[in-house]
Amino acid sequence: MKLYRIFAFMLMLAVAFAACEKIDPPYKVVTDGGGNGSGESGDTVRNVLIEDFTGHTCVNCPSAAHKAHELINFYGQRVVVMSVHAGWFARPDAHDPLFATDFRTESGEAWNTFWSVDIQGNPNGLINRLGGAANGVINPDNWAPVVEDESQKEFLAKVTINNDYNDSNKRLSVEVEAEFQKDMEGEYWLYVGLLQDSIVAPQKDEDVEGGIDTNYVHMHTLRTSLNGIWGEVLNDGETIVEKATYDKTYTLDFEDDWVPEHCHIVAFVYYASNEGLYDDKYVIQVDQESVIPKLEE
């Protein structure tokens, strides 16, 4: 009898030991955009940049794009996604016309090498380029908590973008202004690039029967840079004073397959450490603006 008592007692102990939490629906936090109630605009709060390193032959990349889209739904304009086609899975395939298109960019390839992204596998990404060259790559399943963390950080700079697209000569003029919100030390750089939405092109996808989605809609695709692979330095290391503004202007001639109505200019300011190979490239603010302003409804 004693044996049964011990048995029953231990079983009860084991069950108590195994703490558990059953979650009841809804399983997701409901918001109306803007994340957890800290504002909707990069004019007053910190926005977050997600660089989604992808490739058209990467079968798991659509799920990462889905995660990025989920974060846009949750945070609204406060999250800016940049899809960077780079590395092994982004290479055009000369033998397969479905994947002959080259979506790679000079910037994307350089970043892929710098952060060793495709060596660690795709999909993968950078969040505000946190973690330096050695620890910057973040698995899509970890994006959400990191984005949340970054979105709560101090508002340090405001980035304003003004686009003027001339349809007759297919030339875009861009003015970018970075306004710092406090005195700051160190070297700050500005990167300006062109993103394109709604590119319909084949994509390998493990969730599609047959493994290839021939009508996949590529969003936020980085098309080109307006100011070089790494952008350009703003302050040359001089101390930045509160409310200091830095203005830059650029022009870009559109290529035939860049659809202006689907394009955005993305601009971000990042801190670059002055040591060695600029190991640290931490983004302090990002914003984006449509090339063709959307009509008010």
Closest distance to other proteins from the beta carbon of 95 (Å): 10
Of the two residues 17 and 274, which places its CB atom closer to other proteins in the complex?
17
Binding range to other proteins, per CB under 8 A, among 29-37, 169-177, 187-195, 281-289: 29-37
Q: Are 292 and 164 in contact (CB under 8 A)?
A: no
Among 1, 18, 134, 277, binds other proteins (CB under 8 A): 18
Q: What Cα–Cα distance (Å) separates residue 173 from each residue in 102, 201, 240?
A: 26, 28, 27
CA-closest candidate to residue 268, choices 46, 1, 40: 46
* Interatomic CA distance for residues 95 and 31, integer angstroms: 46
CA-closest candidate to residue 157, choices 240, 230, 80: 240
Question: Does position 21 bind other proteins by CB under 8 A?
Answer: yes
Question: Does position 274 bind other proteins by CB under 8 A?
Answer: no
Pairing assessment for the beta strands 171-180 and 245-253 based on DSSP bridges: antiparallel
Q: Say whether 110 sits in a helix, a strand or coil.
A: helix
Question: Does position 215 bind other proteins by CB under 8 A?
Answer: no
Question: Does position 71 bind other proteins by CB under 8 A?
Answer: yes
Among 147, 159, 234, 266, binds other proteins (CB under 8 A): 147
Number of residues that bind other proteins (CB under 8 A): 44
Of the two residues 205 and 258, which places its CB atom closer to other proteins in the complex?
205
Q: Are 251 and 239 in contact (CB under 8 A)?
A: no
Q: Which residues are registered as beta bridge partners of 266?
A: 193, 288
Question: Does position 17 bind other proteins by CB under 8 A?
Answer: yes
Q: Which residues bind other proteins (CB under 8 A)?
A: 3, 6-7, 10-11, 13-15, 17-23, 25-29, 35-36, 59-60, 63, 70-71, 74, 119-120, 139, 141-142, 144-145, 147-149, 204-206, 210-212
